Amino acid sequence: MTSPIAILDIDGTLVDTNFQHALAWYRAFRQHGFVVPVWRIHRSIGKGGDQLVASLIGEGADAEQGDAIRTAESALYLAMIEEVEPFEEARPLIVELKQRGCTVILASSAKPQELDHYLDQLDARRIVDGWTSSGDVERTKPEPDLIRAALERAGGGDAVMIGDSVWDCEAAERAGVGAIGVLTGGFGEEELRAAGADPVFHSVAELRAGLDRTPFGAG
């Protein structure tokens, strides 16, 4: 039996970035006169910046100041990017998926400069089959565009998305792709399951240990 394509989110799934992103967005909003509670920002992490700003301060404010806020967030986050680390077993998970015969695509809504940093951290360039960034699509998660772009890079076929946020799962569902959840981004198990993830694991390490209980199992 052919293994499904493995589409892996990066931010919050392979690399521990969600809380740094939440803080960077908080500071960027505040610089432009919007005090948005950090907990609300965290609930939107996993969306791309094109979706996140309007969802938190409205489409009118996004039209007026959204680009400036996104530019500020990028600079603020890059000032912290050296603090982020891959999750335990992140690279070994990628390696094992390849050993199981999977085509592996990293479907990130990160900006290209951030994605380059993560690819270096994970030493993933030589082992994955491709990747996406926010620069590859007009609309990011929860829209399905990034998942569809990942499928195109893989040449099409059955696929399963691995992600940490409800936005990953919703994007996968809209693209007609199954989803596996990990709790590394701060979303709850019930939330991920309600968004379409099945199964859900506590960590990347637990996922790797339980791959036989997923569509990537040995059969």
pLDDT in tens, 44-63: 999 989 999 999 999 999 99
* Measured distance CA(182)–CA(177) in Å, rounded: 16
What is the three-class DSSP state of 198?
strand
pLDDT at residue 219 in the model: 52
**Alpha helices by DSSP H, the chain:** 18-31, 38-44, 49-57, 59-78, 90-99, 112-122, 145-154, 166-174, 189-194, 204-209
Q: What is residue 46's DSSP assignment?
A: T
Q: Which residues of the chain have pLDDT under 50?
A: none
Hey, what's the torsion of the CAs at 213, 216, 218, 219, to 10 degrees? 80
How much is the CA Rg of the chain, to the nearest whole Å? Answer: 16
